[in-house]
């Protein structure tokens, strides 16, 4: 899974930086968030393939799903 580092979101368990990645499903992309330090990992949401026309859009949408883990101290 290709992952990108989120610039602001931090792990709710250890406050380390988070990475996010996408997995292709037949009708959508599943977005995963994972910690760079501990084993915390969640499936943050799904993005419909019809909603995405460029790969860049997919990564922007995936990044926005991580806003719930910004300033989570
Ligand atoms: Zn962590």
Listing DSSP states for 1-68 in one string gives: --EEEEEEEE-TTT--EEEEEEEE-SSEEEEEEEESSSS-EEEEEEEEGGG-SSHHHHHHHHHHTTGG
CA 27 – ligand 1 centroid, Å? 30
Percent share of the chain, pLDDT over 70: 99
Domain extents in the chain: 3-68
Q: Of 29, 30, 32, 28, give the one whose Cα is nearest residue 19.
A: 32
Q: Is the pLDDT of residue 71 over 90?
A: no
pTM: 0.91
- Ligand 1 ion: residues within 5 Å (CB): 11, 13-14, 16, 35, 37-38, 40
Q: Is the pLDDT of residue 67 over 90?
A: yes
CA 54 – ligand 1 centroid, Å? 31
CA 13 – ligand 1 centroid, Å? 5
pLDDT value at position 16? 97
Q: Is the pLDDT of residue 42 over 90?
A: yes
Q: Is the pLDDT of residue 66 over 90?
A: yes
pLDDT value at position 4? 97
CA 50 – ligand 1 centroid, Å? 33
């Amino acid at each position: 899974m290709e992952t990108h580092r989120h610039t602001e979101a931090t792990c709710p368990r250890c406050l380390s930086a988070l990475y996010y990645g996408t997995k292709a499903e037949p009708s959508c992309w599943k977005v995963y968030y994972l910690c760079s330090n501990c084993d915390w990992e969640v499936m943050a949401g799904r993005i419909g393939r019809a909603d995405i026309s460029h790969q860049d859009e997919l990564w922007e949408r995936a990044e926005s799903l991580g806003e719930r883990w910004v300033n989570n101290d």
